[in-house]
Amino acid sequence: MRYILFCVIGLFITSSAVGATNSDNDTLLQDLLGQIEAMQASQDSLKAEMRENTEKMRQMETELKVYRGKTAAPEQTGVGEEALPPEKKERLERRIRKLEDMAGKTFRLDPVEDIKKISEWVCPDGHIYDHPTPTFRCPLDGKPQKERVAYRKFKYARKESVSDLIEGMMEDEFKKRVAVGLSATGVVQQTVNSDRRDATSAQGSFDLFFLHRPMLNSILFVDLESIGGSGPDIFSNTVSGLNDDVSRGSHQDDDGLDRVSVREVWLQSMLMEDRLRLVAGKIDLTNYFDMNTVANDETTQFLASAFVNNLALSPPDNGPGVVGYFDTKKGYSFGAGLQSSDNSGTAVTDRVFAIGELDYHTPKFLFGHEGDYRFWGRYNGDTRSSAVGISFDQKFREGLSGFGRFGATHNAAPDEVKWTWSLGLGLSSPFSLRRNDHAGLAFSQLKTDESKKEELAEVYYNFFITDHMSATLNSQVLLNSIREESFNEDYLSTFGLRVQMDF
């Protein structure tokens, strides 16, 4: 029961933190709006002064022309012949030059460089023309001209208006800021056929994200996490994992106090026109390998670990590592990663976990729809085991997709699976009145090195509430459990409710 209270309190704390963050954002926005209104008022005043000065300049020009004898003053006679004193002429000319200078400075003129794509017409002898001749032949030798595309740099002075100043000011302000994100998950699961009376479990997790761009084409990411509760796995003791959100373990002390851990801290750089991605720091390898659009998120999709990632992957806990990923932009991509076997920070190059993956994205494969296919291999220097696996997600029709995984381990450790596979379907917009809902159905089977098998089926339905909140009904059935002593019947089933909030 205390875990249920933890989930509720965690959600209220999340809402309060979001309110405080929004309050800071509102204060910054009010300051920017105040500056914008002041600049607009200044612009209106400057325009009025400019109109007044322009009118005065016209009057003085007319007066000067009259005195210079170039035109006759309207409704006046004899004035054009009168000689203007030299002092007055010089004073009027100075005033005119001053007004003209003021008119030119009403808007700032900033030097701007712009690269434009242009067409050139080239002759065989090397002469280049900006436009083709009427006959499309070179004027010198009469040979045909050929069109080619070129890029040129143009320099010019641009008038910077108040709107440009406002836009630039707001863009610079947001570049200096650190983006903050919040994610809170609460799960309640009721286990059936358990030999324990307290078969109801509650679990909550809280993630606080920080995102900043310290330099061009780079991102600094920090994820602080706290988890309370252990889910039904604490007494069902399955290999498939009935709640992947607590697969990393509870962060509660023995006295029930919650602790916050640093889950991820990494710096990412994009190179070669965003084809090459490099990530270094404390990383989670499952964010880069064995991805799947249908089954890869325990907060909104399948809850069991057997459907979130391939159990044969068996990556170490988050720790120091580096990942490189190259996208050819032609459907193929390659990735490789190295990570320390633990998070101690010592001897990070000893007993490393190494993984490589080949991805292929096809816009039209089965039934003329897109699909993603992945093949990976890994080596665990800590357990000296190796494994290979495949993962795919394929769209069958609009709103219906399927996924599958298979993995096999060589020289498996006692806590690793010998082989495993899973298949499932994902359905989006199941009803016309619930277009933002989605559902899923999946089945998995695994075998350990002790030749024991375990089977798991799961179904869920995700209800869209708002852009920041969703609720999921979930049910699981565990068959032929490896640890059958955890329940009395031939199967174990769970029913659960999951609430997810993101900001």
Contacts 24+ apart (CB under 8 A), 461-468: 461/430, 461/437, 462/300, 462/301, 462/437, 462/438, 463/434, 463/437, 464/434, 464/436, 464/437, 468/501, 468/502, 468/503
The pLDDT value given to residue 163: 53
CB 380 within 8 A of CB 341: yes
Using CA atoms, how far residue 464 sits from 163, 469, 470, in Å, is 39, 7, 5
Nearest to 149 by CA among 122, 124, 118: 118
CB 235 within 8 A of CB 194: yes
Please report how many Cα atoms fall inside a 13 Å half-sphere around the Cα of residue 305, on the Cβ side. 23
The pLDDT value given to residue 359: 96
CB 201 within 8 A of CB 498: no
The pLDDT value given to residue 29: 60
The pLDDT value given to residue 216: 83
The pLDDT value given to residue 258: 74
Kindly report whether the global pTM for this prediction surpasses the value 0.85: no
Residues of the chain with pLDDT below 70 are 1-33, 35-36, 39-40, 42-43, 46-47, 56-57, 60-61, 63-84, 98-114, 153-176, 194-198, 249-256, 482-490
**Residue 374 tokens, joined:** 């992945």
Other CB atoms within 10 Å distance of the CB of residue 194: 20
CA distance 288 to 291: 7
CA distance 338 to 280: 10
DSSP assignment of 364-418: S-GGG--EEEEEEEEEETTTTEEEEEEEEEEEEETTEEEEEEEEEEES--TTSEE
The pLDDT value given to residue 63: 66
Please tell me the chain's helix, strand, coil percentages from 3-state DSSP, rounded to the nearest 5: 25, 45, 35
CA distance 486 to 191: 11
CB 91 within 8 A of CB 143: no
The pLDDT value given to residue 1: 40
The pLDDT value given to residue 374: 96
Using CA atoms, how far residue 94 sits from 60, 83, 91, 394, in Å, is 11, 19, 5, 78
Q: Which residues are CB-neighbours of 226 under 8 A, at least 6 positions away?
A: 205, 206, 251, 258, 259, 260, 261
The pLDDT value given to residue 102: 59
Task: Please list the residues that pair with 319 across neighbouring strands.
Answer: 283
